[in-house]
């Protein structure tokens, strides 16, 4: 939330054209009640973002089906149901990780979404919650949801403590259990199993892909975007483009920024995601400071990115 918005996704498309990108979690109930303008803000994306999955939250099959039909109408490539978020606010709305305690409810939601969608419906979930963390309970959850038509299981390899830990603590305190996700793939070889959690570089991803079908990277992609600039070449075998550099990423955003600013958007909405594009080199902090000051002005336009790209090019970055 507040990170993988449409602007960050366009940034990542300067780095990888093949990887599947996910939206922020959008609550199906919010889509049902909001006005058309806000609905467009929640669902809108740029064509360059394909392939892209809409991540939904909710526990009502009818509203999730309606949200799925909206995704179909707007041209998404996949719809993903979030059954992994452990926040208290999400739990109070009866969706996210707490739904792992109700596999039949999740199955009903997935079945309704599958009925509404010609493209894949997937589920993101944990390996368990609270005291309900046995491998048998995980298998039961996966088998029940698979029977409803789930195309892929994106498994965060940590359990979630819904009582006593906040979302940040739930990302670090429960131990990573990649072995459980690998065991799930061995025991259910006919299912598509994706591993999420704790993957920080391409080599770790490559190692995990020997045991599972796919990998999902979240915070390491946001915090270190250029760390992934060879993913298309090394994992997808696509050598049609040279690996991105910091300057090519910034310059590649200029046409998008022109459209965004011409429609009344602020440049800062885009530029705020660039702070980690330059890291680990002399002068990075000053470059980020100068960009932030220039892009933070309400009248700032795409020329700010042009200047930032020129500064990087002059340094060979």
160: Cβ contacts below 8 Å, ≥ 6 apart: 84, 86, 97, 100, 126, 128, 129, 130, 170, 174
Asked if 249 contacts 14 with a C-beta cutoff of 8 angstroms, the reply is yes
Cα–Cα dist 25/283, whole Å? 35
Cα–Cα dist 142/209, whole Å? 20
Cα–Cα dist 195/186, whole Å? 13
List the catalytic residues: 85
Q: How are beta strands 153-156 and 121-126 bridged, if at all?
A: parallel
Cα–Cα dist 155/136, whole Å? 15
């Amino acid at each position: 939330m507040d990170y993988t918005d449409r602007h960050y996704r366009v940034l990542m498309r300067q780095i990888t054209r093949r990887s599947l990108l996910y939206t922020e979690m959008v609550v199906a109930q919010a889509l049902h009640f909001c006005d058309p303008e806000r609905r467009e803000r929640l669902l809108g994306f740029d064509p360059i973002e394909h392939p892209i999955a809409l991540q939904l939250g909710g526990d009502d099959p009818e509203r999730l089906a309606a949200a799925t039909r909206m995704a179909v109408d707007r041209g998404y490539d996949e719809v993903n149901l979030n059954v992994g978020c452990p926040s208290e606010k999400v739990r109070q709305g009866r969706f996210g990780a707490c739904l792992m305690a109700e596999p039949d409810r999740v199955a009903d939601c997935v079945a309704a979404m599958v009925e509404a969608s010609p493209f894949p419906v997937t589920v993101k979930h944990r390996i368990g919650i609270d005291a309900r963390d046995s491998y048998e309970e995980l298998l039961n959850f996966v088998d029940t949801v698979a029977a409803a038509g789930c195309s892929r299981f994106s498994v965060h390899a940590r359990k979630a403590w819904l009582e006593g830990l906040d979302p940040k603590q739930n990302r670090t305190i429960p131990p990573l259990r990649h072995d459980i996700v690998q065991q799930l793939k061995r025991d259910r070889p006919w299912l598509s199993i994706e591993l999420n959690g704790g993957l920080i570089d391409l080599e770790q991803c490559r190692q995990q892909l020997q045991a599972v079908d796919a990998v999902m990277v979240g915070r390491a992609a946001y915090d270190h975007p250029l760390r992934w600039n060879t993913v298309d070449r090394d994992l997808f075998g696509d050598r049609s483009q040279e690996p991105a550099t910091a300057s090519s990423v910034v310059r590649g955003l200029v046409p998008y920024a022109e459209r965004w600013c011409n429609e009344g958007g602020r440049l800062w909405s885009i530029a705020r995601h660039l702070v980690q594009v330059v890291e680990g080199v002399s002068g990075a902090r000053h470059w980020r400071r100068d960009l932030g000051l220039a892009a933070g002005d309400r009248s700032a336009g795409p020329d700010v990115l042009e200047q930032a790209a020129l500064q990087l090019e002059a340094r060979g970055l």
